[in-house]
A and B are shown apart, each in its own frame.
Chain A
């Protein structure tokens, strides 16, 4: 069982609560699909998502032939930060929802994050990180 250690000591008032065991899931899909991805991820337990607009090419040019025109080069990139034990589930749900098993639909990858920080409610932070 991975040890949950969300937070640090609460001795000083100007400390930063740093979260570990976080995973970044990045999903690249065609323009307009991001909402599907975010919905699937939220349902699977993600707490939020960030969407970028981008342009990109890949399979479209090389392998799809004339069908390549159906793939929009305008993309949306979705960042989802998830706790490491939920990440695999979110990864899977997004893969299915975005239909990534079809060529040209996009890709998804995840990577461990060393640490992240955001607003953590003080009472939550107080409950964790006491035992170091």
Chain B
């Protein structure tokens, strides 16, 4: 009997079905009837948690890692290799960088689950159900309040300490004593910009007209401020504010509303509907900040007479303010935004809120992420940028510890190459720009390929940052630089076609993300202090003009080569 079985020829499949894992048959009818009675949370094994969470978290963490680590490494390595200076407090900075990455990861997820569902629903429904006045009012509030929730805005509050109070007294006053006024001005500017952007959808204004109509008063105001010695140091800050505002919170929230308004105004399927608001949101705050500065100069004729702020000189170790300080700051930044969205959803639209626990999760995670990011900002990003800025001048000028590292022209060249590389690398790594590149490639039917756009913008930013850094090193005045750069930009705008105008101006706003802005800002301030300049603002402003000009120039070139090709065919 046994022999007979052994000799029987087995098919492989039969063998496999004999050794397989045991299957237990259960009727789905019964399981379903049982499960239908009371849905309850499954008991999860540890391995289940790992399988669920690990891919989710690692994907999001890697995204931030790719944006942050190369930049930080580049800064640190440049400092060590080219400047032969050690990175001070390396562990603390590394810890801060980790906090920045974790914070951004949580924050972006929180925005996705806590804020976007509201804003998509409101953007979709409000324009149909409310009068235009209500929509515009909401747009104004949304723009202003979303700006306060922007992660990079925290960098502005931290910038005051490095301004020379003797040579730029009003700037120092604005940053140290009235930072809330500054932030309010920026919020107001963005709010107005969003309103104008919405009006553009109602009346179908052309982007070109709008840019020119905003830019000319903006430049006029800059010129006015630039010729007033009390106001002149503030222009750099004012123009930098524009670059800070347009980040990962404002842009998607405002776009969601914009798409809804565009649909309600009967401009469905307009591929360019999304563009434009970002542009305005970087010009209006500059105007607002300059107006606030003019008001401040009128209000406080002599800042030196003011009593020093009590406790301003105290330097608490960061852990004494943490985590309570960061958490409160995060709540103050995000709370109003959530409240606004919730009130509008509940009382203007009267819609019930779906998936409460998901939204609750999003809000909690957004606040936590913001707190972590703020912590990382003060401990990691700003010190790193500051240090890099402070050590760079050693390359070309004799410091306290002896002669310059390199001969003067080499040192200057090295510094400028460093600045340009920093700008280039930071731009190429920006995820928002990548997304924009894809959109543009589709919109232009491949005439403007994604890679070309990214390269163009990155080169623009690199040149802009190099220009901004040389402004600080040589202590050039901000006014002629800004006037020249924006006049060129204006000239390009007059000659360009509508698509390239929207594209160029928006790419300037898209490039400055929440990691780049604090880093570059801190770099400028550290550099400014090290070379003895009155203030170190202006790099971001120059970094925004760069891509405006470079993208339009490439636009001309594309049109010209297309025209040439058409002529040759004929």
Contact = CB atoms under 8 A, between A and B. Distances in A.
A68 B42 CA distance: 12
Contacts of B48: 102-103
A86 interface: yes
Given A63-B41, A64-B42, A65-B41, A70 B17 contact: no
B51 A66 contact: no
A73 B138 CA distance: 32
A69 interface: yes
Interface of A is mostly: helix
14 contacts: A1-B11, A59-B42, A66-B361, A67-B52, A67-B53, A68-B358, A69-B358, A70-B52, A70-B56, A83-B13, A85-B17, A89-B20, A99-B51, A103-B44
A64 to B, nearest CB: 7
Contacts, number: 60
Interface of A: 1, 59, 62-71, 83, 85-86, 88-89, 92, 99, 102-105
A83 B12 CA distance: 12
A92 B21 contact: yes
B358 A66 contact: yes
A70 B53 contact: yes
B31 interface: no
Given A63-B40, A66-B357, A103-B42, A86 B52 contact: no
Contacts of B39: 62-63
A62 B14 CA distance: 40
B52 A104 contact: yes
B16 interface: yes
Interface string B20-51: 11000000000000000001111010011101
Interface string B46-68: 01110111011000000000000
A104 B52 CA distance: 8
B24 to A, nearest CB: 13
B537 interface: no
A70 B39 CA distance: 20
Contacts of B424: none
B170 interface: no
B113 interface: yes
B361 A86 contact: no
Contacts of A71: 52
A89 B56 contact: no
A61 to B, nearest CB: 8
Nearest to A71: B52
A88 B39 CA distance: 31
Contacts of A88: 16-17, 20
A38 B546 CA distance: 48
Given A63-B39, A88-B20, A102 B52 contact: yes
A85 B52 contact: no
A102 B47 contact: yes
A89 B21 CA distance: 9
Given A66-B357, A66-B358, A102-B51, A89 B13 contact: yes
Contact of B17 (A59, A66, A89, A105): A89
A54 B17 CA distance: 32
Contacts of A99: 51
Nearest to A82: B13
Contact of A92 (B20, B49, B358): B20
Given A65-B357, A69-B113, A85 B13 contact: yes
A98 to B, nearest CB: 10
Contact of A86 (B16, B41, B51): B16
Given A63-B40, A89-B13, 8 more contacts: A62-B39, A64-B42, A85-B11, A86-B13, A88-B20, A102-B44, A103-B48, A104-B52
B17 to A, nearest CB: 5
Contacts of A63: 39-42
A66 B14 CA distance: 44
Given A63-B42, A65-B41, A105 B51 contact: yes
B65 to A, nearest CB: 19
A68 B358 CA distance: 9
Contacts of A92: 20-21
Interface string B149-166: 000000000000000000
B52 to A, nearest CB: 5
A68 to B, nearest CB: 8
A71 to B, nearest CB: 7
Contacts of A89: 13, 16-17, 20
A70 B109 CA distance: 11
Contacts of A70: 52-53, 55-56
A71 B53 CA distance: 9
Contacts of B55: 70
A118 B537 CA distance: 70
A86 B13 CA distance: 5
Contacts of B44: 67, 102-103
B63 to A, nearest CB: 15
B308 to A, nearest CB: 49
Contacts of B109: 69
B111 to A, nearest CB: 13
Contacts of A102: 44, 47-48, 51-52
A35 to B, nearest CB: 14
Contacts of B361: 66, 69
Interface string B93-130: 00000000000000001000100000000000000000
Instruction: Return the 9 tightest CB-CB contacts between A and B, nearest first.
Output: A85-B13, A70-B56, A102-B48, A89-B16, A70-B52, A102-B51, A66-B361, A86-B13, A63-B42
